[in-house]
Amino acid sequence: MRTLLLNNLILLFTLLCFGCSSGSDDSGNPDPDPDPDPITNPNPNKTTTYTNDVKAILDDQCLQCHTIPLAQGAPFAMRTYAETINAINNREFFLRIKSTGFNVMPPEGRLPQETIDIILDWEADGLIE
């Protein structure tokens, strides 16, 4: 009788544990922050490229620091397509230009939304050179 009770307790315990773990399964919960950096396509009618659209913005807005030699504490250069793609792959490139906080790039202040949209359109179009 004592063994049976013990077995039942073990069974109950196992069931409870199983219930717990499946109940708190992450996949079942709604994600409170589904995608902090969604890709938007501000201009679906235009194919935006680095050479035609984006390089001039970066040259004008970023290269005073993000150049070689690196200036004013900037940690990487963005002079070319390759360097810019490297920044996108390894740095918070899009988060920084979209930021509304203290870490926005350029540091003097957020770019005009139309300018940010050109860069976001380039992203949506596939980061074409």
In this complex, which beta carbon is closest to ligand HEC, that of residue 28 or of residue 67? 67
The contacts found for 94-98 with CB under 8 angstroms, 24 or more apart, are 94/37, 94/119, 94/120, 94/123, 95/36, 95/37, 98/37
Site for ligand HEC in 83-122 (CB under 6 A): 87, 91-93, 96-97, 103, 105-107, 111
Helix or strand or coil: residue 85?
Answer: helix
In this complex, which beta carbon is closest to ligand HEC, that of residue 30 or of residue 73? 73
Tokens 């070319």 belong to residue = 80
Q: Which of 72, 89, 100, 109 binds ligand HEC (CB under 6 A)?
A: 72
Q: Which of 48, 55, 74, 121 binds ligand HEC (CB under 6 A)?
A: 74
In this complex, which beta carbon is closest to ligand HEC, that of residue 29 or of residue 102? 102
